[in-house]
Amino acid sequence: MKKLAPVEAATALIDGRIKELGDWRGEMLARVRGIIRAADAEVVEEWKWRGVPVWSHGGIICTGETYKQVVKLTFAKGAALADPSGLFNSSLEGNVRRAIDIREGEAVSEGALTELVRAAVGLNLKGKSKAKVGRAKATTDADSLRE
C-alpha cells in the first residue's frame, strides 16, 4: 500500500472523522471545513494532538474539535481578529484564542466565517513578514557594527 504524504494523510483522517461521527456534528464539521478551504486556496489540513483537525497557512488558522454538544472552531490568534459579525461565542476571556461553539440546529454564516478565516491568514502572514524584516534589520545592524 502506498504511504500517504502528511497532508494527504491528514485529509484522509479528517474525512474519516466526519464519516465516523455520522450525525449533525459530522455534517457541521464537513460544512465548516468546506468554508475554510474555499476561503483560502492555500490552506493546509493537518491532524494534531491525537485527533484534532487543524487548518493552517503561515501558522494555525483554527482547529475543529467535536464534542457531544458542540462543534468548536478555535482560532489560534482569535483575540487579535476583528469579529464584526459576532461569531466568537466561547473562550472570550483569553488573551490569545477565541472560539465558535456551534450547537445542533445552529446556522453558520458562510460570509462571516470566510472573512474570519481570511483575516486569520492575513494575521499569520503579516507576522511572518515582520519576522523576516526583523531578521534582515538585525543582520544589517550587526554588519554595521563590523565596519
In this prediction, residue 116 carries a pLDDT of 97
State the average pLDDT over residues 97-107. Answer: 97
In this prediction, residue 90 carries a pLDDT of 95
In this prediction, residue 5 carries a pLDDT of 61
In this prediction, residue 130 carries a pLDDT of 56
In order of 19, 101, 106, 131, the CA distances from 66 in angstroms are 13, 10, 15, 34
Residue 129 cell numbers, joined: 513578514
Q: Work out the mean pLDDT of the chain and round it to a whole number.
A: 87
State the average pLDDT over residues 30-57. Answer: 95
Given a cut of 60, whether residue 139 has pLDDT beyond it is: no
Q: Which residue did the predictor score with more confidence, 120 or 137?
A: 120
In this prediction, residue 146 carries a pLDDT of 35
- Domains, the chain, in order of start with CATH, read 6-146 (3.90.1150.200)
Q: Which DSSP string corresponds to 2-36? A: PPPPHHHHHHHHHHHHHHHH-SHHHHHHHHHHHHH
State the average pLDDT over residues 57-72. Answer: 97
